[in-house]
Amino acid sequence: MKKFLLSVLAIAAVTFTAAAQEKTAPRTEYSVSVSENAIQVKPGESKEITLTLLRSQSFSKAKAELGLSSSLPEGVTVEFTPSEGLIDSSVVKVTVGAAAKEGTYTIILKSTLNHKVKGTIVKVVISSISNSSPGITAN
């Protein structure tokens, strides 16, 4: 009997822990998030992050349109795959041209569902120096 109760408690603990780690959909409208809020990209290279849409029940069947709400620095492009449709996530590819000016830039990724517009900010550090943390530069 003790083994049975311990097994039930162990299963309940694992289930609760797994459920606590999942993001829950908002009660109304939707929310947008990215896998990384800051990225570092060397000139001539690209980096991919994931944009995720968490939808409430009323937004579950709304088609999404993804884009930008900010201008991009010269030599930088952003591509969404997919960029529209009944999607829950998209791969965002940030490509930095070889001649792009080094520095720290802020871009705003935009999503539109049911005429509601929401965005999220991503800091892009263009640097030829490899750092373990975006935003920290070597002297």
Which residue has better confidence, 27 or 63?
63
pLDDT at 111 (0 to 100)? 97
CA distance 27 to 24: 9
CA distance 95 to 88: 23
Domain count, the chain: 1
In a domain, 36, yes or no: yes
Q: Tens of pLDDT along 28-55?
A: 789 999 999 999 999 999 999 999 999 9
Q: Which domain holds residue 40?
A: 25-126
| C-alpha distances out from residue 31 to 12, 39, 47, 116, Å | 29, 21, 23, 11
Amino acid identity of residue 96, one-letter, is V
Q: Which CATH number characterizes residue 91's domain?
A: 2.60.40.10
Token digits of residue 44: 């001539």
| Half-sphere exposure in the Cβ direction for 114 (13 Å, CA) | 12
In a domain, 108, yes or no: yes
In a domain, 139, yes or no: no
CA distance 76 to 122: 13
Least Cα distance to 108 among 56, 37, 44, 46 occurs for 37
| Half-sphere exposure in the Cβ direction for 80 (13 Å, CA) | 19
Q: Tens of pLDDT along 54-103?
A: 999 989 999 999 999 999 999 999 999 999 999 999 999 999 999 999 99
pLDDT at 45 (0 to 100)? 97
pLDDT at 131 (0 to 100)? 62
In a domain, 19, yes or no: no
Peptide bond into 43 cis (omega under 30): no
pLDDT at 5 (0 to 100)? 42
In a domain, 109, yes or no: yes
In a domain, 16, yes or no: no
In a domain, 43, yes or no: yes
In a domain, 12, yes or no: no
Token digits of residue 31: 């929310």
